[in-house]
Chains A and B, each alone.
Chain A
């Protein structure tokens, strides 16, 4: 019987169901069926979720990700409210044409657990990795459950999305604890932070202009427009911008204030927009200066408008990363190493 809330249509998309002990054998048979297929893999990419409604979304995302990133994709759906049935496994090949002649495929494994324990989750991930390749794990569940040391000690890159956290403070505490663990070596990436990448890119480009740069000390206000549910993305962006201007968080609250050793304090104002992208605009303003970075609707570009005393300038920058699949793709394209994000966790913790 299918687990609760999962339809046969959902399950049919997962590929061929196979008994757990036969997974490796079944994968081998899958490749032997068609000699025209090329198996390619650079990374193990695993998703852990406890939301049955996310199955279709995650499947679509994996198809999109594997089109550009050859990986062994592992999807683990743990249903805390299930009936404690035996775990079920499915295998599939996500294929894309290459040069019109051959087909390049990534392997996909899907596990459905019911009332899965931390140990089961670990085993599902570890037992089915493509050996010697790094493990990138997108943890869509709560970091306060099942994300224990044995698991994260084997992870190279952990992906989270802080905009989905119901209790950001508890999640950040769990994340900090994991990062400080003696055995952890993982790098953390937050999709909320990645969402602001195009705005940061445009802002940095804008301040390559010497005139705009000279006005930087005058800036005393940061305004950010974000979509509903994307406040953490706005906070992260605002904290980063203030931090780069030597601002130290002075007071949190509705309008956080950052004090600067030289120059006026900076006030961060977040505004929720009824529609539009996760982050639709960033404005830096002060005496005789305003830098406005904005993205209109579905545009794949962001417009930068800089007004200084006797100077006005406009530029266009790319803003083509928006969907979860694109955001993950961005992360998979980057080399490892501790990111800027990890250093911002203490500030973010104070802000939430």
Chain B
């Protein structure tokens, strides 16, 4: 029987009763993101009824200890104000389960706990397993979930797994992990999270492109000169992050997942419908259409890698990358990368996509800028008047989410002088209400079974295939492209500027 009150009441459906198990529940992600996201879902009435959450981790802890720690974190990180009244109710649904990740007994007792909740409910609930542990534990967790029979949903219900990044560190490890996942859960029940896709402005890219007749007819090589995607961070390796980062680097940490997802949304063809697979079919085509850069020469010509040296950001002195805490003093890991990419499809033939990501840059900003071609002829302007004045559409992902469009206007006065002006839309000043955090949207989607904003296996593997060729040229060729340098607080190495200068273009000034 369908819930008759559900049908016409909401703009979106409410999830059915569910128990969520978080592996690695004592970690930072649980405290800063997952629990505040669940709390905010509860505060907005979006959490399913009878919801239960079990934290699975190795440390000794009681339920009250665990709840108390999470309450402190929620007060600090929750988007909405912490309400004692709501928390008292919400915390009753949180439980702690101590076990080693490699101990089958821990999974059997977890199954008992889940069955006990189902008995208390009077009916079995859906099960969502969230892998928030260190990535090396993904494999044993998945294998033991299967051995304990937890991958099988109770009749009429589902069991799903959400995997945090990094999903592998190259194609081989990603494939191996995918094999383990696919032996445990079906692809339709596997949700590979990329929190960039949960951001409001990332979701807005499809709306902007496909709901506005103004843009889509011009969204091709005939009218677009090039596209830039920038992800700048003004931090380095604070908080001990150097240990992980030095094994990954900017290419693996950011480009393979977040920036390729943004690239896909910008370059994809319109999906036939809004189902998860229709959207992901189109996104994966973009990644498969990327022109490969094979060998050190092609990589060196189209990709710039760099490390920061000592400098200052916002007036604060910063050490160089190799002097950072937990970073190998002889590290060969890039913390800046700039790429020239081509999507070899009819739509994008000859249009370069420039991507750059880096640490210790002057400010924190992620944005996509679409640079349109200049008109073939402007009768009242000389070529010099039109330099650096193309129409530009900027989609700001974070912070200060919004959209800006630069157009040319006549400057008031007797002379015919043209000036670029900016039309700027800001989410915050227009909509007032704070957007939900990415994790709120993504957790709810996982409970609802909507995988649109999650990466599919072929997306992940095709992305790694492209990245591996670059990594191979850097680390396994006889004459690898050089590791460039830039002072902390600058906009990257001069070689990255030259990458665009070769094409007669320059990076957008953020």
Complex CA–CA separation, A246 to B2 (angstroms): 13
Complex CA–CA separation, A340 to B5 (angstroms): 12
Q: Mark A141-170, 1 if CB is under 8 A from B, else 0.
A: 000000000000000000000000000000
Q: A67-B432, A203-B5, A208-B17 are in contact. Are A313 and B50 (CB under 8 A)?
A: yes
Q: Does B428 contact A (CB under 8 A)?
A: yes
Which secondary structure dominates chain B's binding surface?
Answer: loop
Q: Does B412 contact A (CB under 8 A)?
A: no
Q: Are B17 and A311 in contact (CB under 8 A)?
A: no
Q: Are A333 and B433 in contact (CB under 8 A)?
A: yes
Q: Does B85 contact A (CB under 8 A)?
A: yes
Q: Are B8 and A340 in contact (CB under 8 A)?
A: yes
Q: Are A213 and B17 in contact (CB under 8 A)?
A: no
Q: Which of A69, A98, A210, A333 contacts B123 (CB 8 A)?
A: A210
Q: Which of A42, A310, A315 contacts B430 (CB 8 A)?
A: A42
Residues of A contacting B429 with CB < 8 Å? 38, 40, 70, 98, 104
Q: Are B49 and A208 in contact (CB under 8 A)?
A: yes
Residues of A contacting B49 with CB < 8 Å? 205-206, 208-209, 313, 315
Q: Are A300 and B432 in contact (CB under 8 A)?
A: no
Q: Are B17 and A211 in contact (CB under 8 A)?
A: no
Q: Are B1 and A301 in contact (CB under 8 A)?
A: no
What is the interface size of chain B, counting residues whose CB is below 8 A from a CB of the partner? 37
Q: Does B376 contact A (CB under 8 A)?
A: no
Residue of A nearest to B1 (CB): A213
CB distance from A242 to the nearest CB of B (A): 11
Residues of B contacting A244 with CB < 8 Å? 4-5, 7-8
Q: Which of A99, A246, A300 contacts B83 (CB 8 A)?
A: A300
Residue of B nearest to A202 (CB): B45
Q: A211-B122, A299-B85 are in contact. Are A204 and B428 (CB under 8 A)?
A: no
CB distance from B5 to the nearest CB of A (A): 4
Q: Which of A40, A204, A214, A316 contacts B5 (CB 8 A)?
A: A204
- Greatest chain B CB density within 10 A among A198, A216, A317 is at A317
Q: Are A42 and B431 in contact (CB under 8 A)?
A: yes
Q: Which of B3, B426, B432 contacts A207 (CB 8 A)?
A: B3
Q: Does B272 contact A (CB under 8 A)?
A: no
Residue of A nearest to B16 (CB): A208
Complex CA–CA separation, A201 to B9 (angstroms): 7
Residues of B contacting A210 with CB < 8 Å? 17, 122-123
Residue of B nearest to A207 (CB): B3
CB distance from B333 to the nearest CB of A (A): 35
CB distance from B426 to the nearest CB of A (A): 8
Residues of A contacting B400 with CB < 8 Å? 99
Complex CA–CA separation, A216 to B1 (angstroms): 10
Q: Are A69 and B432 in contact (CB under 8 A)?
A: yes
Residue of B nearest to A214 (CB): B1
Q: Are B14 and A208 in contact (CB under 8 A)?
A: yes
Residue of B nearest to A96 (CB): B432
Q: Are B430 and A70 in contact (CB under 8 A)?
A: yes
Residues of A contacting B42 with CB < 8 Å? 316
Complex CA–CA separation, A246 to B4 (angstroms): 9
Q: Does B380 contact A (CB under 8 A)?
A: no
Q: Which of A98, A241, A316, A340 contacts B428 (CB 8 A)?
A: A98
Q: Does A26 contact B (CB under 8 A)?
A: no
Q: Are A207 and B5 in contact (CB under 8 A)?
A: yes
Residues of B contacting A246 with CB < 8 Å? 4
CB distance from A248 to the nearest CB of B (A): 14
Q: Does A10 contact B (CB under 8 A)?
A: no
Q: Are A70 and B85 in contact (CB under 8 A)?
A: no
Q: Are A205 and B45 in contact (CB under 8 A)?
A: yes
Complex CA–CA separation, A201 to B49 (angstroms): 11
Complex CA–CA separation, A40 to B429 (angstroms): 7
Q: Mark B38-65, 1 if CB is under 8 A from A, else 0.
A: 0000111100111000000000000000
What is the interface size of chain A, counting residues whose CB is below 8 A from a CB of the partner? 45
Q: Does B86 contact A (CB under 8 A)?
A: yes
Q: A40-B429, A340-B8 are in contact. Are A316 and B89 (CB under 8 A)?
A: yes
Q: Are A68 and B432 in contact (CB under 8 A)?
A: yes
Q: Are A318 and B45 in contact (CB under 8 A)?
A: yes
Residue of A nearest to B3 (CB): A207
Residue of B nearest to A313 (CB): B50
Q: Are A208 and B83 in contact (CB under 8 A)?
A: no
Give residues of chain B (340-362) contacting chain A, Cβ–Cβ below 8 Å.
none
CB distance from B317 to the nearest CB of A (A): 26
Complex CA–CA separation, A210 to B121 (angstroms): 9
Q: Does A22 contact B (CB under 8 A)?
A: no
Residues of A contacting B44 with CB < 8 Å? 318
Q: Does B6 contact A (CB under 8 A)?
A: yes
Complex CA–CA separation, A125 to B169 (angstroms): 61
Q: Does A9 contact B (CB under 8 A)?
A: no
Q: Which of A204, A214, A316 contacts B14 (CB 8 A)?
A: A204
Q: Are B428 and A99 in contact (CB under 8 A)?
A: yes
Complex CA–CA separation, A141 to B8 (angstroms): 30
Q: Does A335 contact B (CB under 8 A)?
A: yes
Q: Are B122 and A208 in contact (CB under 8 A)?
A: no
CB distance from A314 to the nearest CB of B (A): 8
Complex CA–CA separation, A69 to B15 (angstroms): 29
Q: Does A59 contact B (CB under 8 A)?
A: no
Residue of B nearest to A320 (CB): B43
Q: Which of B6, B83, B90, B123 contacts A204 (CB 8 A)?
A: B6
Q: Are B3 and A213 in contact (CB under 8 A)?
A: yes
Give residues of chain A (259-305) contacting chain B, Cβ–Cβ below 8 Å.
299-301
Residues of B contacting A315 with CB < 8 Å? 49-50
Q: Does A228 contact B (CB under 8 A)?
A: no
Residues of B contacting A40 with CB < 8 Å? 426, 429-430
Residue of A nearest to B424 (CB): A38
Residues of B contacting A203 with CB < 8 Å? 5
Residues of A contacting B3 with CB < 8 Å? 204, 207-208, 213
Q: Are A209 and B123 in contact (CB under 8 A)?
A: yes
Residues of B contacting A333 with CB < 8 Å? 433
CB distance from B28 to the nearest CB of A (A): 26
Complex CA–CA separation, A241 to B428 (angstroms): 37
Residues of B contacting A35 with CB < 8 Å? none
Residue of B nearest to A343 (CB): B8
- Greatest chain A CB density within 10 A among B7, B11, B122, B428 is at B122
Residues of A contacting B85 with CB < 8 Å? 299-301, 316
Residues of B contacting A200 with CB < 8 Å? 5, 9
Complex CA–CA separation, A299 to B86 (angstroms): 10
Complex CA–CA separation, A38 to B431 (angstroms): 13
Complex CA–CA separation, A109 to B32 (angstroms): 44
Give residues of chain B (409-429) contacting chain A, Cβ–Cβ below 8 Å.
426, 428-429
Q: Does A245 contact B (CB under 8 A)?
A: yes
Complex CA–CA separation, A201 to B11 (angstroms): 12
Complex CA–CA separation, A208 to B122 (angstroms): 13
Q: Does A334 contact B (CB under 8 A)?
A: yes
Complex CA–CA separation, A276 to B10 (angstroms): 26
Residue of B nearest to A65 (CB): B432
Residue of A nearest to B44 (CB): A318
Residues of B contacting A42 with CB < 8 Å? 430-431
- Greatest chain B CB density within 10 A among A208, A213, A214, A315 is at A208
Residue of B nearest to A104 (CB): B429
Residue of B nearest to A335 (CB): B11
Kindly list the 4 A-B residue pairs having the minimum CB-CB distance in the complex, ordered from nearest: A68-B432, A204-B5, A316-B89, A244-B4
A-B CB contact pairs (8 Å), 7 listed: A67-B432, A70-B432, A204-B3, A204-B14, A209-B121, A210-B122, A300-B85
Further contacts, 7 of them, CB under 8 A, given A203-B5, A210-B123: A69-B431, A70-B430, A99-B400, A207-B4, A245-B4, A308-B122, A315-B49
